[in-house]
Structure 1
């Protein structure tokens, strides 16, 4: 899903991370977690750059991840995260809508579904790591295997999208002294020509269990995911997913 410019930019980002001073965990750590995300979806998509605004239903999405951290400074840590991102909607068209050769006429009702579910593969370094402040920096490769579908009483048209999207990854965590709370923010973002990916979340974490064997954390936050595509695999989009989430993380 990305061109040569995207690959070159991702390479530059990776080199900048590799050249930065790094700090590593003193012990091997495994983080596993999941989130339930209530999304309000808005925007448009199509096979041209003139598409109507669609009315999407509110949806509950899920996301889960596994991260491995180690004490070897020269090697990055690894995080794999799968994100469900499916939205449905229906409306009566206010204008003609052409989708990959099929024209859906104005005033006709249509149903549609966007599936932009994807898996993030992140390599990152802990530039700071102490009880009060943690800052991670790295790169993410988003593996998207999506599907866009439009249906009417007369026609049904679908288009699949399959590819990789590179982004710059960062995470900042700040512990609140003398409390079991931590505030944090996570970002995956990149802009190439007229295409843009932005995936931001911010939240607060409560440490329910904290000992030498295991940590158990509850998370409450807000996430925003924007995807703007300009003639990428013949797809144009300007979609935004936003809403609160509730999560749980276990650290071994």
Structure 2
């Protein structure tokens, strides 16, 4: 499998003046993301549209985040994130075959699993909060398409990669309310491959409890040998967490 490994985002961090937390802090959250799928999957030159051909339905996906901040200026803060995306559908492959399947009703499953480790610095830490850093993302994607006629024809497409992405997060706090708005994102584009994962949100903090709701969009365009994943996911999300 081909691995794409390039360094991005470090110059943004090194060029910016750094702030640091006054004390050690930590937080964790769990979120529910109701995403719609669109795009194409390529298997050895055969192309299938996951919306029109496979009729992938919107579904909920789980996301878990944990972060650790400290007052040592030269060391980055750490954020871990895990996203598990699973979609299924029942559609039809026409005369343009996909693998060994042609002119058949099909069941399909698309799974994407992502694990992020983000290393970031606080550039601003007041009513405007700005973090910049680098994310290392391990992702695995798999599409399985099965012929429903009992012929046991199965097409399997897999991509996997370890990608470095630039990371940025900005939040604006509204004084004396516990309410804030913000956005964050990861992005990389190199040699025909690209990935971006961005969201915008509103947030409410009360004591150590943190509630957040917003909209997230992710697009993956990645080729691994003869397989290619070119998909977009987008939809609303809501999360609940704690911040100490």
TM-score (norm 2): 0.90
Runs of 5+ consecutive residues of structure 2 not aligned to the other structure: none
Shift of 1:156: 1.4
| 2:58 is the alignment partner of 1:61 | no
Contact between 2:5 and 2:162, CA under 8 Å: does it hold in 1?
A: no
| Alignment match, 1:237 | 229
Three-state SS of the structure 1 residue aligned to 2:47 is coil
| 2:217 is the alignment partner of 1:224 | yes
Shift of 1:178: 3.5
Measure the CA separation in 1 of the matches of 2:183 and 2:75.
23
1:178-236 C-alpha deviation (Å, 9 max, x unpaired) = 422100101011111211101011110011x22xxxx211111110011112x324321
1:125 to 117, 121, 124: 121
1:33-75 C-alpha deviation (Å, 9 max, x unpaired) = 1101111111111224552322211111010111000000100
Judging changes above 3 Å, is the alpha-carbon distance between structure 1 residues 237 and 162 closer, same or farther for their aligned structure 2 residues? closer
Three-state SS of the structure 1 residue aligned to 2:48 is coil
Measure the CA separation in 2 of the matches of 1:200 and 1:49.
30
Contact between 2:12 and 2:132, CA under 8 Å: does it hold in 1?
A: no
| Alignment match, 1:97 | 97
1:135 to 130, 133, 140: 130
Measure the CA separation in 2 of the matches of 1:87 and 1:234.
23
Judging changes above 3 Å, is the alpha-carbon distance between structure 1 residues 48 and 206 closer, same or farther for their aligned structure 2 residues? same
| Alignment match, 1:47 | 43
Judging changes above 3 Å, is the alpha-carbon distance between structure 1 residues 142 and 2 closer, same or farther for their aligned structure 2 residues? farther
Shift of 1:160: 3.7
Measure the CA separation in 2 of the matches of 1:112 and 1:81.
27
Measure the CA separation in 1 of the matches of 2:74 and 2:45.
45
Contact between 1:96 and 1:104, CA under 8 Å: does it hold in 2?
A: no
| Alignment match, 2:243 | 251
Measure the CA separation in 2 of the matches of 1:137 and 1:89.
38
Runs of 5+ consecutive residues of structure 1 not aligned to the other structure: none
User: After TM superposition, where is structure 1 displaced by more than 6 Å over at least 4 residues in a row?
Assistant: none
Contact between 2:158 and 2:227, CA under 8 Å: does it hold in 1?
A: no
1:80-138 C-alpha deviation (Å, 9 max, x unpaired) = 1000111111211234233xxx3211x311121111111111000110011x1100011
2:29 to 29, 33, 36: 33
2:10 to 10, 14, 22: 14
1:1-47 C-alpha deviation (Å, 9 max, x unpaired) = 765xx533x2x522442343211101000010110111111111122
Measure the CA separation in 2 of the matches of 1:60 and 1:124.
29
